[in-house]
Structure 1
Amino acid sequence: MIDLLLVHGVVITMDQERRILENGAVAIHEGRILEVADTEQLLEKYEAKKTIDCSHHCILPGLIDVHGHGGHSMFKTIAMDNISFWMPIMTHTYKHFVTDEFWYYEGKLNALERLKAGITTGACVLGSMPRSDDPIFALNHAKAYSEVGIREIVCTGPCNPPWPHSFSRWVDGKRVTREVTYEEVLKGAESVIEALHHAHDDHIRAFITPFVIVTSVNPSAPTPPDQLYGLTEHDRYQAKKIREIARKYKTRIHSDAFGGMIHLAIQDKENALLGPDVHLQHCRGISFDEARILAETGTNVSSAPGFGQVNARTPITELMEMGATVAISTDGTSPAASFDMFQAMRKTQMIHQAALKDYYYLPAGKLLEMVTIDAARCVGWDDELGSLEAGKKADVITVNMRQPHLTPEYMYVHRLVHQAVASDVDNVIVNGKIVMEDRKVLTVDEFTALDEANEEAKRTIERAGLQKYMEPTKYFWGHARAYVDEKRFDPELL
């Protein structure tokens, strides 16, 4: 007798042949997919402990969000009106005003939003820049993800110079601040990787994650060619140390990159943070030469849709045509991005169609690949995730098509990509275990987790003095353009 049988659904396999079975079934046993075939065939072949009738549902691999942030779920929309200063505001908050417990409560909220959006694997950079001065933050976050029951890729490593860096912990309600060296944050990152890589029955993996691959240029936007003066001593030292840690723990490297960084990184060919074991988020504003380097080195790329793509686009269509693996990420959930991968697919398509003035770029099938099998390749997990095939881990979701916006039921991939939303996901299975059934979370008390997150968020907002960034400006109502007209930001945080 097998553990679980999903029957009478439209199975979108994402396998090599991209098979779609209209009266399909998936047999699951001991955490893995046993077989994918027609319903009648599997009903005759197997008796299951539990059978789920997936009539009027699409059955597909769990979605994979290859880049998002731990912490951000507590601060949705805060400082949106002060977007020029959003990064230093949030970075200062993460460095000095979050408690150890914050990461546990936020981790539950973070994981629950992803779960209810059909994301079965999500990458989390801890903070706006990664924070690794103490492993407790990552350990608490991973614990929360494990309790909710979906997979997390914990991304932790050093933030940018100068060093030493000031960080705070909260002990018995009091802030304790100390100066932390670069070597200490590397040691903290190593401790996280040692403790979490392949932990919790391989629900958790840990990647070494410097904030950016080159620290000496603009960390959040492309750098003009006439400002690319070559790698600094710290750039070279960081690349060397990150490579050493990745080799020591047999893990992967994840980081951000923007235009100019790839040109600089390749100058240190021995330690360049490029290659098949590297996954770079953003890559906005990269040159054609840099795109070619990414493709030739086999470096994986992910991109999130957003306003930044208007000023400096990630050339994802060109990268694909050169043979690079490119995934869509949400980069969620703050200040304004959700973990809704269906929306992320549509936004990505619209941005690049508009930029290229060509309606025919990024067909629906390609977009779905970019959040399933391509995303699995991007994070080096495609041997077990990203498609519904015998032998792979049973990470499966079902989408309820029996709704006005998804009816009539045909052209299923088009319908999912162009009309579905996160709340259309009914069932989520991770490692063969039903984590959500008929949109009810089975692993944790959802509303208790929401209440705990609410209370911790309010405490953190008060502690960090973030209320001023939550107040609407006088241009909020009835105006076509917003202004702030008041000084809210402390320039000392820059």
Structure 2
Amino acid sequence: MSGLLLRGGMLIPMTSREAIGLGDILIQDGRIAAIYPGGAPEEVRSSVSEIRNVAGQLVLPGLVNAHTHAAMTLFRSFADDLPLMRWLKEAIWPAEEKLTGDDVYWGTKLAIAEMLKSGITTFADMYFFMDQVAQASLDTGIRAHLSRGMVGFGPSAEKALTESAAFFRQYNGAGDGLTRVWLGPHAPYTCSPDYLKRVMALADELGTGLHIHLSETATEVDDMTKQYGLPPVELMDSIGLFERPVLAAHCVHLNEKERAILVEKGVGIAHNPVSNMKLASGVAPVEALRQAQAILALGTDGAASNNNLDLIEEMRQAALLQKVHLLDPLALPAYEALEMATIGGARALRWDDEIGTLEVGKRADLITINLQQPHLCPDHDPVSRLVYAAKGADVATVLVNGRILVDQGRLTCMDEEEVMAKATAAAYRLTRQ
């Protein structure tokens, strides 16, 4: 029998807490072929082509980074400790004007290296030179949900529509389904309602969804309300944006009506706690949204505003932030934070039919985490250990579509030293001239 058997791990399938336990997983043709609670029978063990002993490790679905700007690794630790609009206008936007496709390729590969090594198997990206982002993703084997950023004013507005359509037609479904393309209108403050209606029409023509920033700062909400008479989420609802698949990043400043709209319309909400804290954007009402059964995911945002892409850290920070903000230790429990990073992310990206849980028939996107370390001892609760004590560096093995991309903590899909050298050279040229 061909296939890979992962043997003896502590399975966290994310189908229910009750399903957690020791077991084996059989992977064939890029998919989960069988799950054996307690262990595979002898006839399977004796006939499979490869067995990997993962005893002493957690085995769970790959993590989903539901919102980032991957190539912004080039601006990591550049222009820190500034408010959002000063940070953008005085530092980031001027540097980004000098970006080339080659810069974005190497910046994206650097992000992918970091994400894979910390257990992220899928990422949702919005940026520029997206053909280079797609190529970096295909070259490394990661699962990618990509959107070309669109700004609805100035000379780039028409170009953004044309290039987004061409990007969709070239890359949607590429890499045996590893790549999906949505449209990426940046935000209501950079895309007018009239422009957004054109983006929506294009999305309907292509049969795809929309990735957008919403209600990230109080200033944005105030400005939109003064200009249009409605806050961002209500404004987007009034023009019909949510009648199609939408991935909304941030959603920090929401009124009660807006929270209800996001839940009713099934909008995927990508919460970015570390970026929101670092830029002092505010605290998103995650617990209230969770109680209302919203589709909640986790994102890192770009490395320029985080400053890492460690989604395990993001889980812990999301949970702790809700607890201290609400003065409630029961807010956002560990298992629910893990759901946001796995099946929640898959749902937000409308990919939960293929990824997000360990189930027979789903894609073999999964990770293992080495528990044999002092900071993860003793073994009282596997989920609490993962969310509150683990770190990205604890990831041992990463598979995407059944292909091993990280083996014992080492990348198998790229030359890590080359990637860091190329990305560093690009970063210096962009920020030191």
Query: Do the two structures share a fold, i.e. TM-score over 0.5?
Result: yes
Compute the displacement of 1:78 (Å): 0.4
- 2:267 is aligned, of 296, 299, 318, to 299
Asked if the contact 2:123–2:145 (Cα under 8 Å) also holds between the matched residues in 1, the reply is: yes
Asked if the contact 2:273–2:283 (Cα under 8 Å) also holds between the matched residues in 1, the reply is: no
Which residue in the other structure is 1:316 paired with? 286
Compute the displacement of 1:275 (Å): 4.5
Asked if the contact 2:70–2:112 (Cα under 8 Å) also holds between the matched residues in 1, the reply is: no
Name the CA distance, whole Å, in 1 between partners of 2:108 and 2:114.
Answer: 10
Q: TM-score, normalised by structure 2?
A: 0.91
Which residue in the other structure is 1:369 paired with? 339
Asked if the contact 1:275–1:294 (Cα under 8 Å) also holds between the matched residues in 2, the reply is: no
Rg (Cα) greater in structure: 1
| 1:142-180 deviations in Å (ceiling 9; x for gaps) | 11122222111112131253x22xxxxxxxxxxxxxxx4
Compute the displacement of 1:17 (Å): 6.3
Q: TM-score, normalised by structure 1?
A: 0.80
Change (3 A) 1:103 1:294: same
Name the CA distance, whole Å, in 1 between partners of 2:203 and 2:150.
Answer: 14
Which residue in the other structure is 2:203 paired with? 246
Change (3 A) 1:18 1:339: farther
Residues 150-189 of structure 1: pairs in structure 2 closer than 5 A: 150-161=142-153, 163-164=154-155, 180=156, 182-189=157-164
Compute the displacement of 1:307 (Å): 6.8
1:100 matches 2:101: yes
Asked if the contact 2:203–2:209 (Cα under 8 Å) also holds between the matched residues in 1, the reply is: yes
Residues 454-465 of structure 1: pairs in structure 2 closer than 5 A: 454-462=424-432, 465=433
Change (3 A) 1:104 1:287: same
Name the CA distance, whole Å, in 2 between partners of 1:360 and 1:119.
Answer: 27
Compute the displacement of 1:198 (Å): 1.1
Compute the displacement of 1:409 (Å): 2.4
Compute the displacement of 1:39 (Å): 5.0
SS of corresponding position for 2:241: coil
Q: Which amino acid aligns with 2:95?
A: T
State the identity as a percent. Answer: 30
Asked if the contact 2:274–2:314 (Cα under 8 Å) also holds between the matched residues in 1, the reply is: no
Compute the displacement of 1:359 (Å): 1.0
Change (3 A) 1:18 1:274: farther
Change (3 A) 1:302 1:117: same
Which residue in the other structure is 1:77 paired with? 77
Name the CA distance, whole Å, in 2 between partners of 1:398 and 1:320.
Answer: 27
- 2:376 is aligned, of 402, 406, 414, to 406
1:432 matches 2:414: no
Name the CA distance, whole Å, in 1 between partners of 2:420 and 2:48.
Answer: 34
Asked if the contact 1:107–1:142 (Cα under 8 Å) also holds between the matched residues in 2, the reply is: no
Stretch of structure 1 that moved more, 108-117 or 199-208 = 199-208
Which residue in the other structure is 1:488 paired with? none
SS of corresponding position for 2:238: coil
Name the CA distance, whole Å, in 2 between partners of 1:456 and 1:98.
Answer: 9
1:420 matches 2:377: no
- 2:411 is aligned, of 441, 451, 468, to 441
Structure with a larger share of its residues in helix:
2
Residues 78-477 of structure 1: pairs in structure 2 closer than 5 A: 78-83=78-83, 85-88=86-89, 89-94=91-96, 96-126=97-127, 131=128, 137-161=129-153, 163-164=154-155, 180=156, 182-212=157-187, 214-215=188-189, 235-258=192-215, 259=221, 260-268=231-239, 272-275=240-243, 277-306=245-274, 308=276, 312-462=282-432, 465=433
Compute the displacement of 1:265 (Å): 1.9
Name the CA distance, whole Å, in 1 between partners of 2:356 and 2:410.
Answer: 24
Compute the displacement of 1:42 (Å): 4.3
Which residue in the other structure is 1:8 paired with? 8
Compute the displacement of 1:276 (Å): 6.0
Name the CA distance, whole Å, in 2 between partners of 1:81 and 1:21.
Answer: 44
Structure 1 spans left out of the alignment, 5+ residues: 132-136, 165-179, 220-233, 466-494
Change (3 A) 1:156 1:29: same
Flag as ranges the 4+ runs of structure 1 deviating above 6 A: none
SS of corresponding position for 2:341: coil
Which residue in the other structure is 1:481 paired with? none
Change (3 A) 1:16 1:418: closer
Asked if the contact 1:28–1:432 (Cα under 8 Å) also holds between the matched residues in 2, the reply is: yes
Name the CA distance, whole Å, in 1 between partners of 2:246 and 2:175.
Answer: 24
Name the CA distance, whole Å, in 2 between partners of 1:370 and 1:158.
Answer: 27
Structure 2 spans left out of the alignment, 5+ residues: 216-220, 222-230
Asked if the contact 2:152–2:195 (Cα under 8 Å) also holds between the matched residues in 1, the reply is: no
